[in-house]
Amino acid sequence: MKENSTVFLVDDEDTFREGLSQLLQISGMKVESFSTAEDFLKNFDPAKPGCLVLDLNMPGINGLELQETLAKKEIKIPIIFITGHGDIPKTVQALKAGAVDFLEKPFRKQVLLKLVKGAIDLDIKNRKNEKNRIEIQQRYRELTNRLKEVMELLVYGNSNKEIASKLNLSHRTVEIHRKKIMEKMKADSLAELVSMASICGLKTPHS
């Protein structure tokens, strides 16, 4: 996935944007550059992994407004802001809103490259976690209602004996259900199943 990652660059200064784009490309990165936030939004594909290098102050939709728009669309691409001198209050606001870092002009090339590589790694990690979350929720939805009942009691800390009593089942039946749950959820341990249960919105001893 790292090889397919793209650096999305949004900056209204043509010379700066073109120079930065060349630097990233020479370093072996795919780059898509835009002079306005509007142009970026029109052409951006959230399915593409990568990161966003974004100028804070631009005409039209500025960097903070673009960050807010992406958040409303639930697009969680890591953002590195490029700021000018005196933009610290806005930069703090951007970081609080979830930006991964910022660079103040002028900056060293190696610093930018390090931040971009870190942001891409973060995006890859986030996408893997999201894919895992979706798969776990899908497995849970495919359980029978009875297995869901047993799982809910199990992850909340009930023993097989307690589950059997509460659901009016035999101890052996609970054992069979428990085994099926572990297999269908692809959990290797009760601790892992509890973690999965939290992702599915079930109550656990720590929730």
Structural domains for the chain: 2-129 (3.40.50.2300), 143-199 (1.10.10.10)
Contact 184, 176 (CB under 8 A): no
Predicted local distance difference test score (pLDDT) of residue 85: 66
Predicted local distance difference test score (pLDDT) of residue 206: 72
Predicted local distance difference test score (pLDDT) of residue 197: 97
Contact 29, 49 (CB under 8 A): no
Q: How many CB atoms lie within 10 A of CB 29?
A: 20
Predicted local distance difference test score (pLDDT) of residue 95: 84
Predicted local distance difference test score (pLDDT) of residue 124: 95
pTM summary value: 0.82
The Cα–Cα gap between 53 and 11 comes to 8
Which amino acid, 35?
S
The residues of the chain scoring below 50 in pLDDT are: none
